[in-house]
Chain A
């Protein structure tokens, strides 16, 4: 699909390139354009290219020369490792604020510093499959390294050592913390950290076990899992799209709906059994979820029968 906005040509976008003292090559770009179609600078084909990107807008990435159908959406704050023979192409059909740092790692350098390492072998295996990209999300520490290196490369390229240190730290982080490959994993999920996922699973099973008890509170989860309320809420929002209290409420109301359908208990009884201490609270909550009061719902079911 052709973008409707006027697109700045690729040539007009300028990569700031730099040779680092340790033998790596770096390039940086920061643009704000209406539409983007940008290829990475080409390097010597023997080696790997590690790119860090950050952007505001909608961004897709694919290796140059691959069909557009293989494009992957890319989330902001990402590191992408690819082979130098297949430079990546970044495309956006909407206005975008895009910044990227490219680090070229020659094969000699890999032999010297990284090879002979179980973790790297795994990464290498994934890369060997054609068109594959290995990705890793950046944390705040890495984001600040990223923006520091980007600023220096553009404005103060003489400060080689600082640029090099920021990039080496990013490289080390990438190799140590890579969690998943971009391909084959749902990119819309914001959580890719295995620790976080296990935490969420743990909390979910805890909730499903205790949510009907009237002494159950979010606080008791926090104490049990040693997390903060904000952190847990953040994780829940990224996975379930709702806060943790909303999640608990929905679970309770769903359960109550089933109980109403069973038609064995009165509504007030149900309210107490699923852990509500007052009926009006329960009715309000029910109404929020299903836009109907439990009494009316009961009547509807009765009528249907």
Chain B
């Protein structure tokens, strides 16, 4: 198990020194590549110029857990925003794997969180998982600069009211997943790295705030969910996201996965994610389609790719969601 400890005053880049020492890693141009002996993938640091530091972790097949300690610092006035997506490899293939991973996923599941640096934070990346994670260290001042003063005020009030933990955590949604996908795919060779980073972080913060206010409202109304429910729901959410190429699994299967009754699953999912089960599945599916279309993949191919047997069904669904057909999406003028 390897540890990296960072003071608040130290730049994220410093963790490369520690990692490069005891691992067989290659560091080049602020990217640290894992060579394959201890894991695959890369860790990179971005956003230094803008004062919003980003540590992007895109790793799989780690042979041992990797832990980052962000040491608490009483004088610091920064937040740590963490966007973690942790998947079990090959999980999509069988229900058996799903059942086996239940125990593990209770411990390491995909979440987004805000932490006050005063309290510090420990992030552990488990071995044998697919990890995509962004850790953003942003000065309170910059965050307030980035959003309304009012919103920033609310966040700090709520963070203080959570007492010792000073952490707000929510399950991840498909929007984050898609953005993390994009980010990891492009960050290394993007020609405008800093611009790309600030753009993505700004969008992530927008998602985070939207979620923050929905969750805040729910808990004010006395509708906050138990930890058990949260885990169950995020398992369902993960299943829907992973299996977007297959047919909609059906409410019965989902209720088995979540160990909830169909009715309570439906109502709770809607409340928590703001979408019905099918609506959520469909939105995610069509976002994938839209990304394919952005890459100029022909409509017919896209339809097959995301699991439609009939292209006109795909066209209809696409039109219903976005208001224009895939063909018009490709040729707007």
Q: What is the interface of chain A, defined by CB distance below 8 A to chain B?
A: 21-22, 75-77, 112-114, 117-120, 137-141, 143-144, 158, 160-162, 164-165, 168-169, 171-172, 175-176, 190, 195, 226-228, 230-231, 234
Q: What is the interface of chain B, defined by CB distance below 8 A to chain A?
A: 49-50, 145-148, 191-192, 194-196, 198-199, 202-203, 205-206, 209, 290, 294, 296, 298-300, 322, 324, 327-333
Kindly state the separation between the CA atoms of A165 and B191 in the bound complex, as whole angstroms. Answer: 19
Pick 26 A–B contacts, CB within 8 A, sort by A: A21-B146, A112-B50, A113-B195, A113-B198, A114-B192, A114-B195, A117-B192, A119-B192, A139-B294, A143-B332, A144-B322, A160-B148, A161-B146, A161-B202, A161-B205, A161-B209, A162-B206, A165-B202, A168-B195, A168-B199, A169-B203, A172-B195, A190-B333, A228-B300, A230-B327, A231-B330
Kindly state the separation between the CA atoms of A76 and B322 in the bound complex, as whole angstroms. Answer: 21
Within the complex, which residue of B146, B205, B333 is in contact with A76, where a contact is CB–CB below 8 Å? B333
Question: How many residue pairs, one in A and one in B, have C-beta atoms under 8 Å apart?
Answer: 89
- Chain A residues with Cβ below 8 Å from B191 are 117-119, 175-176
Asked if residues A231 and B298 are in contact (CB atoms below 8 Å), the reply is yes
- Chain A residues with Cβ below 8 Å from B324 are 140
Asked if residues A165 and B206 are in contact (CB atoms below 8 Å), the reply is yes
- Chain B residues with Cβ below 8 Å from A172 are 192, 195-196, 199
A112-B50, A161-B209, A164-B202 as given contacts; A141 in contact with B147, CB under 8 Å = no
B contacts with A: majority SS: helix
Closest beta carbon of chain A to B22's beta carbon, Å: 33
Q: Which of A75, A172, A230 is the most central at the interface, judged by chain B CB atoms within 10 Å of its CB? A: A172
- Chain A residues with Cβ below 8 Å from B194 are 112-114
A113-B50, A228-B299 as given contacts; A140 in contact with B192, CB under 8 Å = no
> Which partner residue on chain A sits nearest B333 by CB separation?
A77
- Chain B residues with Cβ below 8 Å from A138 are 332
- Chain B residues with Cβ below 8 Å from A230 are 327
- Chain B residues with Cβ below 8 Å from A226 are 298
> Which partner residue on chain A sits nearest B209 by CB separation?
A161
Kindly state the separation between the CA atoms of A226 and B198 in the bound complex, as whole angstroms. Answer: 36
Asked if residues A165 and B199 are in contact (CB atoms below 8 Å), the reply is yes
A161-B209, A175-B192 as given contacts; A77 in contact with B332, CB under 8 Å = yes
- Chain A residues with Cβ below 8 Å from B147 are 21, 160-161
Kindly state the separation between the CA atoms of A27 and B206 in the bound complex, as whole angstroms. Answer: 21
Closest beta carbon of chain A to B141's beta carbon, Å: 11
**A114-B195, A162-B206, A168-B198 given. 16 additional CB < 8 A pairs?**
A21-B145, A76-B333, A112-B50, A113-B49, A113-B192, A118-B191, A119-B191, A120-B192, A139-B332, A143-B332, A161-B206, A164-B202, A172-B192, A176-B191, A228-B299, A228-B300
Asked if residues B146 and A176 are in contact (CB atoms below 8 Å), the reply is no
- Chain B residues with Cβ below 8 Å from A164 are 146, 202
- Chain A residues with Cβ below 8 Å from B198 are 22, 113, 168
Kindly state the separation between the CA atoms of A22 and B202 in the bound complex, as whole angstroms. Answer: 9
Asked if residues B202 and A227 are in contact (CB atoms below 8 Å), the reply is no
Kindly state the separation between the CA atoms of A172 and B194 in the bound complex, as whole angstroms. Answer: 10
Kindly state the separation between the CA atoms of A138 and B331 in the bound complex, as whole angstroms. Answer: 10
Closest beta carbon of chain A to B112's beta carbon, Å: 16
- Chain B residues with Cβ below 8 Å from A168 are 195, 198-199, 202
- Chain B residues with Cβ below 8 Å from A75 are 333
A112-B194, A172-B196 as given contacts; A234 in contact with B331, CB under 8 Å = yes
- Chain B residues with Cβ below 8 Å from A22 are 50, 146, 198, 202
- Chain A residues with Cβ below 8 Å from B50 are 22, 112-113
Kindly state the separation between the CA atoms of A104 and B205 in the bound complex, as whole angstroms. Answer: 23
Closest beta carbon of chain B to A120's beta carbon, Å: 8
Kindly state the separation between the CA atoms of A161 and B207 in the bound complex, as whole angstroms. Answer: 10
> Which partner residue on chain A sits nearest B299 by CB separation?
A228
Q: Which of A22, A118, A144, A230 is the most central at the interface, judged by chain B CB atoms within 10 Å of its CB? A: A22
- Chain B residues with Cβ below 8 Å from A160 are 147-148
- Chain A residues with Cβ below 8 Å from B195 are 113-114, 168, 171-172, 175
Closest beta carbon of chain A to B194's beta carbon, Å: 4
> Which partner residue on chain A sits nearest B297 by CB separation?
A226
Closest beta carbon of chain B to A22's beta carbon, Å: 6
- Chain B residues with Cβ below 8 Å from A190 are 333
Asked if residues B202 and A140 are in contact (CB atoms below 8 Å), the reply is no
- Chain A residues with Cβ below 8 Å from B146 are 21-22, 161, 164
- Chain B residues with Cβ below 8 Å from A137 are 333
- Chain B residues with Cβ below 8 Å from A118 are 191
Kindly state the separation between the CA atoms of A169 and B182 in the bound complex, as whole angstroms. Answer: 13
- Chain A residues with Cβ below 8 Å from B148 are 158, 160
Kindly state the separation between the CA atoms of A21 and B194 in the bound complex, as whole angstroms. Answer: 16
> Which partner residue on chain B sits nearest A118 by CB separation?
B191
Kindly state the separation between the CA atoms of A190 and B50 in the bound complex, as whole angstroms. Answer: 38
Within the complex, which residue of B192, B322, B331, B332 is in contact with A231, where a contact is CB–CB below 8 Å? B331
Asked if residues B333 and A227 are in contact (CB atoms below 8 Å), the reply is no
Asked if residues B298 and A227 are in contact (CB atoms below 8 Å), the reply is yes
A22-B202, A117-B191 as given contacts; A140 in contact with B196, CB under 8 Å = no
Kindly state the separation between the CA atoms of A171 and B195 in the bound complex, as whole angstroms. Answer: 9
